[in-house]
Structure 1
Amino acid sequence: MGLVKNAPRYDALDSWRGICACMVALFHFDVFSHLTFLPLVRHAYLFVDFFFVLSGFVIAANYRSRLAEGFGIGRFMILRLGRIYPLHALTLLLFIPIDAAKDGIGPNLFQAVVTNVFLLQGLGVNPQNWLNFVSWSISAEFAAYVVFAVMVTRLGTAKWPWLLPIIAGPVVIATMSPHGMDTTYDYGLVRCLYGFALGVVCFDVRERFPLLKQRLSPAAETLMEAASFVLAVGYVSVAASSLPLSIGSPLIFALVVLVFAREGGSVSAMLTAPFMLFVGTLTYSIYMMHPLVRAFVRAAFLLVQRVLHTDLFIPYALNPGNEPAPIIYLHGSLWLGDLLQVSMLLLTILLSVATYRFVERPGRDWARRLARRDKVGALASTAPTAKVHEHAEA
């Protein structure tokens, strides 16, 4: 039996993930441009919380019942590691020489490598982001997988345990996080569990209330989708200016997940067009590879700046309260900045095609084969003494 059977797919939500990954990339490129100064892009770090909410929803849809029925924590973790670790390992190896050239070889680099290897870099053990700076969220999400597997195995499909991070997460972020909702290496796990738990609860609510799955007329479905899309875009555009609003962003994303899981309107139809599905498939690679594109482009501009004796960077605080940081400045031309930023995004997508084909997919397939062998071994060891019920796997 294959490891993917009857697993629910939410194509429109996959495309949403792809859009969010592209927005996060634009946010991190740090170019003086029209795009950078759009409020939606300036606050696009909040789209990481969409990943967390959607992850909780999809993981609950695919694994909650199976784990409660004996799927096995070990097999679950093998599958999740196979999904995230190969590309994480590749970007880690590529960033080691970059950080060594920038900051030198020393205790910080050693700590960075060790914590990244063991996926600890987003759990509050480092004083800053090192190496691939977005990988803090991979660390936090892997910890959320562990929490999910243990809780479901021990407590079954109960909903109440997930209310704790939903209630405590915003309180901790509001009172303890020095960067508010833009917390990463320090309170990233709290941020992740807050969104992840919301996703799990969203799935539970959707299962308990059939009305949330029942299709309305195409016009009504389209209206709901368009309204939630506009709400999400408008909310992110203004949310970062207010701590309470930014902390509430996962709630907005939970609404988006519930609406687009229905896939009943014209907006979903556009999101499930081939190109959008293609971008959605590349989401993880886009997310993990865009810091590498950023690093190489900035290195190239530093070299050009040195050779031509011209200033191609200026210190600039893109958001209120942030310390000024050097951003690429093409002699004040916002249009050239737009062109550079779009080119960086296209380059990221091209690289992502390669990493998906040669890193992500082989790693995922290897993990599935390993998990299948683990299952076969478990069946063989228990066959003489017990009757084993085979479960569908994903």
Structure 2
Amino acid sequence: MLVVFFHLHVVDTFIQLPFFRRDEVLLNFFFVLSGFVLAHTYGMKPNLSFKSFFISRVFRLYPLHLVMLAVFILFETVRWIAYNKGFYLNNVPFTGLFAPKEILPNLFLVQAWTTLTETMSFNYPSWTISIEFYIYMLFGALCMFSMRNRFLLFAAISLTAFALIFSENEPLVERAMLGLSCFFAGNITYVVYLLIRDKFVPRPWLMTVLECAMMYATYWIVMNDFDYRSPVGSLTFCGLVLLFAFEGGLVSALLKTGVFVLLGKLSYSIYMTHAAFLFCLSTVFIVAQKVTGLELAPMIGGQRFMDTGSMLGNNLFVVAVAVFCVVIAGFAHKYVEMKGYELGKRVLGGSANAKTAADKQGALPAMEQRVDRVA
């Protein structure tokens, strides 16, 4: 939801507060958490089948990605028709971030890996999926090694990536280095968790204090500028994930209540669908501005904003947008995300007992369904 608020621009609203405008560093947390969850789900399997791992990842990520890519191509087509009829919205259709040459990189999820492609093209949040998809493939390949060697390789990749980031000698694009350093740091965080979980008895009061302290540390990192803020944040988030893995404090208890469980369940769909919804809203405000002559879609600092005309109305509008994002994600989860998941299970060898067969082939277990969606 913080990603939704970061991409939503409404005049005089709570989402214009500094925390909501500076929280891009929390993307590092997503990569760390993803690495932790994948290590839990697949990293300890002694005989992981790369084929089944590949299939489960493809059917986990691709169905919703392809649908949303098609939606944005449809948007551009409608804008192109309107443009040819003399109705101009922001920029010329099928140019810049929406140029036809960007379709193929998005189709193969390579748009965030090179300087030759536009990272934020079409469904711009999918850049993280671009990075993660190929990191997943690298992770799956490394899991073909022995248990000891695979985790040594995870550590080597993470440490090398962090060293290159700190030394400012990054051989890959910044986002790729970010993903590699954080994801494999999440893998190692899981190893640390395994080493200490049976030796550590969490006391509820102590865990609550530590959880609150770690959340404040996260807030401080978001709100302050300092050298190497991103990698320092990444290492802090490793501690955050490790701490909350014990689920021992009151904050953890809160995060297991209904609304947070629902948001966790829908988070991948929220993440992948919200940009299209915000695009539609922005278009409605631009058209309404042209029709009424009211300043409903002002440009502020080079960014298109939305404005209902009152501070209260704008804040209520933000809340309504958040609710509708969840509702839309619910439909996407049911009719796209889960359909893809079920299809993946059938491809993995579905039979009368499809669930058992998919589990044996490495399909996502219940924990990953709940947690991995944030990734």
Report the equivalent of 2:107.
117
Pick which of 202-211 and 25-34 moved more.
Answer: 202-211
Report the equivalent of 1:298.
282
Report the equivalent of 2:181.
194
Percent identity between the aligned chains? 25
Q: Does 1:270 find its partner at 2:270?
A: no
Aligned-partner Cα distance in 1 for 2:292–2:157:
53
Number of aligned pairs? 340
| 80 and 391 in structure 1: CA distance in 2 versus 1, 3 angstrom threshold | closer
Aligned-partner Cα distance in 2 for 1:31–1:170:
36
Gapped runs of 5+ residues in structure 2?
Answer: 80-90, 354-359, 365-375
| TM-score normalised by the chain length of structure 1 | 0.79
Q: Deviations over 1:36-73 (max 9, x none)?
A: 3222211122222211111100000010122xx22211
Name which of 35, 40, 55 aligns with 2:34: 55
Aligned-partner Cα distance in 2 for 1:24–1:172:
27
Report the equivalent of 1:132.
123
Equivalent position amino acid for 1:229 in 2: M
SS in 2 for 1:242: coil
Report the equivalent of 1:208.
195
Q: Deviations over 1:228-256 (max 9, x none)?
A: 12222232222xx3351233211121111
Aligned-partner Cα distance in 1 for 2:58–2:362:
20
Aligned-partner Cα distance in 2 for 1:303–1:186:
37
Aligned-partner Cα distance in 1 for 2:6–2:161:
24
Gapped runs of 5+ residues in structure 1?
Answer: 1-21, 178-184, 318-323, 377-389
Which residues of 2 match residues 227-376 of structure 1 at below 5 A?
A: 227-238=213-224, 241-317=225-301, 324-331=302-309, 333-372=310-349
Query: Over aligned residues, Cα RMSD in angstroms?
Result: 2.6
Q: Deviations over 1:278-315 (max 9, x none)?
A: 11100101111110111000000001000011222333
Shift, 1:147, TM fit: 0.9
Aligned-partner Cα distance in 2 for 1:232–1:132:
28
Name which of 144, 159, 180 aligns with 1:167: 159
Does the Cα contact within 8 Å between 1:218 and 1:264 map onto a contact in 2? yes
Aligned-partner Cα distance in 1 for 2:121–2:236:
30
Q: Does 1:145 find its partner at 2:136?
A: yes
Aligned-partner Cα distance in 1 for 2:362–2:230:
39
Aligned-partner Cα distance in 2 for 1:195–1:221:
24
Aligned-partner Cα distance in 2 for 1:78–1:207:
27
Shift, 1:170, TM fit: 4.4
Report the equivalent of 1:104.
93
SS in 2 for 1:26: helix
SS in 2 for 1:282: helix
Q: Deviations over 1:63-105 (max 9, x none)?
A: 0122xx2221110011111111111111111001223425434
Aligned-partner Cα distance in 1 for 2:63–2:118:
25
SS in 1 for 2:349: helix
SS in 1 for 2:304: strand
Pick which of 44-53 and 287-296 moved more.
Answer: 44-53
Pick which of 57-66 and 165-174 moved more.
Answer: 165-174
SS in 2 for 1:126: coil
